[in-house]
């Protein structure tokens, strides 16, 4: 699988979240070309402010001794919570579907020598743009924009 | 209650975690002088790499529209995951029990204008120092030091 295929897997998580009534942001964690965990934003589903897509994915991966050989994919640029987690866990490579809806903590990750690739994927972009337009308050709550 | 009392409440969480076989780091979230959530590291108990004490506390607080009137207390200086979360959530004030066992992401939080107070509490220090000495591998796993 290549980056486009893994982002499609993350996007499938985002769509599953939307079907559940949740915020459509998805993530997969990949090691040696294999998906080892999947996740999607759980704010609505689990009443949790910390389970962004990336965090849910990392929680689902369980305990790991190292993340040095992992790549994390997210449909949207990570916020400071998710970026801080990526920095702390030592995940060296981050591939995002898009950053037009949210520029997140890209500079922070790059300043910590994380390789960050933005695919600017039209499907990821449209899914999130539609959600933000329909549910601006939920989106603002999710990124604590008050 | 004052800062010392709230740190004692966080320390009680840390001790409860130790009793459960967990990593002894605890946290409380305070609004207007009242504890609104408590948490403790859940790596062992819930097989979760993301539930550091601060994250468990914020998860237990549930969805909030704003954190601008909140203070978070932690027995130990927050790592980048927890600090990134504090920055993203807009928590303006962080009080830690100690930072001698782990200097964490203090500079990062200060660079985001977070008020950070280190009480250098002997009880918090000794609890964590004893744990790190007894379980160095678990501690290294918790901060992803590989």
Q: What are the counts of helices (DSSP H) followed by strands (DSSP E) for chain A?
A: 6, 5
Higher-pLDDT residue of B123 and A1 is: B123
pLDDT band at B135 (very low <50, low <70, confident <90, very high): very high
Question: Of the candidates B63, B80, B105, which has its C-beta nearest A47's C-beta?
Answer: B63
Per-residue pLDDT, averaged over B61-87, amounts to 98
CB atoms within 10 A of CB A132: 17
Q: What mean pLDDT is predicted for residues B134-144?
A: 97
pTM for this structure? Answer: 0.98
* Residue whose C-alpha is closest to residue B137's, from B43, B50, B46: B43
Whole-number pLDDT of residue B19? 98
Least confident of A1-5, A51-55, A100-104: A1-5
- CB spacing of B85 vs A80 below 8 angstroms: yes
Is B60 near chain A, with CB under 8 Å? no
pLDDT of residue A146: 83
Backbone angles phi, psi at B116, to 5 degrees: -125, 120
The span from the CA of A5 to the CA of B80, in Å, is: 30
**Would the pLDDT of B138 be above 70?**
yes
Q: Say if residues B143 and A85 touch (Cβ distance below 8 Å).
A: no
Mean local confidence (pLDDT), A59-69: 97
B54: annotated active-site residue: yes
- What are the pLDDT digits (tens) for B15-54? 999 999 999 999 999 999 999 999 999 999 999 999 999 9
> Would you say residue A134 has pLDDT above 90?
yes
Q: Single out the residue of A115, A133, A42, A23 nearest to residue A73, CA to CA.
A: A115
Are A54 and A86 within 8 A, CB to CB? Answer: yes
Chains A, B: CB pairs < 8 Å? 99
- This model of the complex carries an ipTM of 0.98
Is the CB of A80 less than 8 angstroms away from the CB of B87? yes
Question: pLDDT at position A1, please?
Answer: 62
Is the per-residue pLDDT at B136 higher than 80? yes
CA distance A36 to B48: 15
Which residue of chain B is at minimal alpha-carbon distance from A50? B59
């Amino acid at each position: 699988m290549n980056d486009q295929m893994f982002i499609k897997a993350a996007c499938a998580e985002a769509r599953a979240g939307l079907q559940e009534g949740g915020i459509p942001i998805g993530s997969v964690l990949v090691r040696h070309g294999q998906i080892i965990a999947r996740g999607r934003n759980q704010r609505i589903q689990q009443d949790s402010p910390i389970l962004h897509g990336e965090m849910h994915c990392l929680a689902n991966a369980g305990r790991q001794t190292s993340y040095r050989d992992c790549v994390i994919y997210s449909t949207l640029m990570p916020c400071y919570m998710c970026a801080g987690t990526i920095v702390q866990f030592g995940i060296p490579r981050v591939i995002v579907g898009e950053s037009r809806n949210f520029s997140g903590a890209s500079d922070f990750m790059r300043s910590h020598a994380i390789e960050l690739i933005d695919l600017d994927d039209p499907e990821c972009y449209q899914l999130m743009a539609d959600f933000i337009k329909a549910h601006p308050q939920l989106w603002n709550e999710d990124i604590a924009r008050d």
